[in-house]
Amino acid sequence: MQKMNSKNKIFIDKLRSSGLRPTNQRVEISKFLFNRKKTFHFTVEQLKNSMNLKRSKKISTATFYNTVHALKSAGYLKEFSLENNTSYYDTNVTSHHHFFDNGKVIDIKSDKITFQKLPEAPKGKKIKNVEVVIRLENNN
Amino acid sequence: MQKMNSKNKIFIDKLRSSGLRPTNQRVEISKFLFNRKKTFHFTVEQLKNSMNLKRSKKISTATFYNTVHALKSAGYLKEFSLENNTSYYDTNVTSHHHFFDNGKVIDIKSDKITFQKLPEAPKGKKIKNVEVVIRLENNN
DNA sequence: AATTACTTTATAATTATTCTAAAGTATGTG
DNA sequence: CACATACTTTAGAATAATTATAAAGTAATT
Ligand SMILES: [Mn+2]
Ligand SMILES: [Mn+2]
Ligand SMILES: [Zn+2]
Ligand SMILES: [Zn+2]
């Protein structure tokens, strides 16, 4: 049974509105993802490793994937792709930009980049969003 | 043995300068990739399927991967990532932008997008490149 | 308490990719 | 040209990320 301390209400609500019952595993995942002040960028594997590291009874891989997918479908997480092979997820679900520095992802707020010129969408199409990736390297 | 008709010289040269001997399989792949007027965006699986479709003796998967990787390392192909799970390659190796419309990739020339405001790189870093993806949807 | 519904998990399956090792083909040398 | 050496192709095995399956666990409903 779930002790419904109102401290966790916000994390439980995200699960509920994603169509998931707030089980213990899911509440822990939701807290781990959303109980932070800064945007969190992660892969499912990273999430699993960092959460399971400090646990005696591990949460299964399938539960991580299922929970992340449900939260994504409900709009609480955004999936993106930088390097191939792995999906990244972002707790900042607004359309925004990124620095990408050797595997590390940093948010750039939308208002930090503005355009002087943008192409029009091909006929029959319209623009859904415009996202910028700025790749970094060390100077010297 | 390779009949060195000068018609294929340019495709053979790309292989040579990628450190690959111009075998028949490789020359066919090089021609398929570079003997076109428009930019070509592809996954290795797509490349393999479309080339092998019309062949009696199929070129092996490993040869496709090896050849694409060598051409990429030599700078004749650029790898990029849009949706997860698969690497895309681009015969336009300059830094440029893309429309992305439901799996379909279209080049946007660099000069079609200009910036009014761009953030500075974090200290110790400098900007390697800035690439934009414009996601499209149907208007209706 | 019994029934039903949803969850978790271990494990199998799948997909994209890379590795391996054997068989094939080309190149260099005398 | 013979032979040795070097590089290539390929089928199939291995790997990594992800998804599917199905049995056992837990919660909700009656
Ligand atoms: Mn991949
Ligand atoms: Mn993937
Ligand atoms: Zn972000
Ligand atoms: Zn392109």
Domains of chain B from N-terminus onward = 6-88 (1.10.10.10), 97-135 (no CATH)
Q: What is the pLDDT of residue B2?
A: 42
Buried b (16+ CB within 10 A) or exposed e, B14-40: bbeebebebeebbbbbbbebeeeeeeb
Determine the Cα–Cα distance for residues A79 and A8; give it in Å rounded to an integer: 25
Q: What is the pLDDT of residue A65?
A: 98
Q: Which residues of B touch A136 (CB under 8 A)?
A: 121-122, 125-128
Q: What is the pLDDT of residue A134?
A: 96
CB contact under 8 A, B126 and A118: no
Q: Nearest CA to CA, how far is B83 from chain A (Å)?
A: 6
**Portion of chain A with pLDDT greater than 90, in percent:** 87
Residues in chain B with pLDDT < 70? 1-5
Query: What spacing in Å lies between the alpha carbon of B134 and ligand 4's midpoint?
Result: 12
Q: What is the pLDDT of residue B103?
A: 81
Q: What is the pLDDT of residues A24-58, one digit of tens each?
A: 999 999 999 999 999 999 999 999 999 999 899 99
CB contact under 8 A, B130 and A131: no
Q: What is the pLDDT of residue A5?
A: 58
Q: What is the pLDDT of residue A123?
A: 93
Judged by its nearest atom, the ligand closest to the C-alpha of residue B94 is 4
**Strand D and B84 CB separated by under 7 Å:** yes
Whole-structure pTM over 0.85, yes or no?
yes
Q: Name which of A105, A135, A140 to mutate to probe chain B: the one with the most chain B Cβ atoms within 10 A of its Cβ.
A: A135
Sheet containing strand B41-42, strands side by side: B41-42, B88-90, B78-80
CB contact under 8 A, A126 and B138: yes
Q: Are strands B97-101 and B125-138 parallel, antiparallel or unpaired?
A: parallel
Length of chain B: 140
Q: Which positions ≥6 away from B83 have C-beta within 8 Å? A: A81, B103
Q: Nearest CA to CA, how far is B2 from chain A (Å)?
A: 35
Determine the Cα–Cα distance for residues B136 and A128; give it in Å rounded to an integer: 5
Q: Are strands A125-138 and B125-138 parallel, antiparallel or unpaired?
A: antiparallel
Q: What is the pLDDT of residues A68-122, one digit of tens each?
A: 999 999 999 999 998 878 999 999 999 999 999 988 899 999 999 999 999 999 9
Q: What is the pLDDT of residue A82?
A: 87
